[in-house]
Chain A
């Protein structure tokens, strides 16, 4: 115990040193956050985060199309020029879409930040959206995104779960429908409405705050200063949905809340996760020991700025295995609400805290962890996000779990509809 306390104190001191994040606003209203990294790290990264996720989209799938349009021709360079020039600098460009944010990222060697910020900013300020690039490069990628989502029962289950849990806003899918109803002009209009100065944040790692702020105020000077689109505050509904599908039999059992995401919900997801800490061994979670052969359970924790969804994804080769595993999961959730033991809660909190800290080591994790906080203006340092875990004890955990399961559960089954269980058969 004494040693553990000492280790924990040492860890806290180390945490304070390397996770400082200062958020300032550049002269033009673009938010700038420089996340401190070990000064010996040879690489730096830049992420331009735009509030342009699927919850803001004007037509189904437009946000995904805009993501796939990233790094195509702009007034400054063509698509080919962007690729070849970035090759010469040795950087990696990527774009990714979430339900709330569109992230355009560049990872590169320290010292090349001026060039890569210019690449990212020129898409925001002067993308050309040519018709031939849409039909030759973008449309096939949109189609393959849709096909990939349709081929994965897990993705289908999560998308449907969001839809019945939140309906509008967060309920919008990340993937376009198979016969999209938008054209190039819709993408252009959407880009025009979301690429505004107040809607953009730039997150840098391995770059000094002052230098980054100076580059950003120059790069985004020409961006529009209009207000971006808004989405109504999320409401949680819950419900049940079943769709036929190929592949492994899949069920999603989840619970949602509104309001800022809490450390308790993350701890509940960690509590439910049967993943062992040592590879090829059996985990210690209450679920792990009781799972039937041929079934797998993954815990899912999806926090958003004003809501979160906690649950598990149950998959199996046969619907019977899914049914049995589903019952185990529901029992475990009920047990957590009734009152889990202090040791179990401590284990779950440590697991959740490590998962959060380890995700924040990489660029994508940093963006997920602090993205929403930068826009809301709350404390965006990763240290404060980790500190919230220290306040979770057994009673707070059980209270959070019981308030979660008091709401209507979100249940989705994808696969053999004749055999997959209904929510009431699992005891929900």
Chain B
């Protein structure tokens, strides 16, 4: 994937450095808040495009609780969209709640597909 949450990311490098993360975290939070999805009660992983086989499989791996909460957030945000205004401020997603609950599952599925591809095309050499 070239774009989206599974694309090349500098985040691990920045998080590993104390100085860098100290400078970049406030900017990152400002950017996330400015994109306003948190004002509609979403988490970042709710925005991942789900119309692909990999993400569908990843969605199946959520716990029942996570699936329910995700559906609730989508419904609540749709209602807010109908009303043409964000949610009440106490319902906004806080930055500590905005965790990546789906991305690890997607990367597992992608890794499994890649492994299957590897075994399907492996060249066996006898020594």
Which chain A residues have a beta carbon within 8 Å of chain B's beta carbons? 78, 80-81, 84, 88, 131-132
Contact = CB atoms under 8 A, between A and B. Distances in A.
A176 B81 CA distance: 49
A36 to B, nearest CB: 30
Contact of B115 (A78, A88, A131): A78
A132 B119 contact: no
A88 B122 CA distance: 10
A132 B60 contact: yes
B116 interface: yes
B116 A80 contact: yes
Contacts of A88: 124
B61 A132 contact: yes
Nearest to B109: A132
A81 B105 CA distance: 19
16 contacts: A78-B112, A78-B115, A80-B112, A80-B115, A80-B116, A80-B119, A81-B115, A81-B119, A84-B119, A84-B122, A88-B124, A131-B61, A131-B63, A132-B60, A132-B61, A132-B105
Interface residues of B, number: 10
A131 B58 CA distance: 12
Contacts of A80: 112, 115-116, 119
Given A80-B112, A131-B61, A132-B105, 13 more contacts: A78-B112, A78-B115, A80-B115, A80-B116, A80-B119, A81-B115, A81-B119, A84-B119, A84-B122, A88-B124, A131-B63, A132-B60, A132-B61
A161 to B, nearest CB: 39
Interface in B25-70: 60-61, 63
SS of A interface (majority):
helix
Interface string B114-126: 0110010010100
Interface string B78-115: 00000000000000000000000000010000001001
Nearest to A83: B119
B106 to A, nearest CB: 12
A80 B122 CA distance: 14
B53 to A, nearest CB: 15
Contacts of B119: 80-81, 84
A80 B117 CA distance: 11
B25 to A, nearest CB: 31
Contacts of A81: 115, 119
A43 to B, nearest CB: 19
B109 to A, nearest CB: 9
A88 B112 CA distance: 19
Contacts of A131: 61, 63
Contacts of A132: 60-61, 105
Contacts of B63: 131
A81 B63 CA distance: 26
5 closest A-B pairs (Cβ-Cβ)? A84-B119, A132-B61, A80-B115, A88-B124, A80-B116
A163 to B, nearest CB: 34
Contacts of A78: 112, 115
Contacts of B116: 80
A351 to B, nearest CB: 47
A81 B115 CA distance: 8
A138 to B, nearest CB: 14
A272 to B, nearest CB: 51
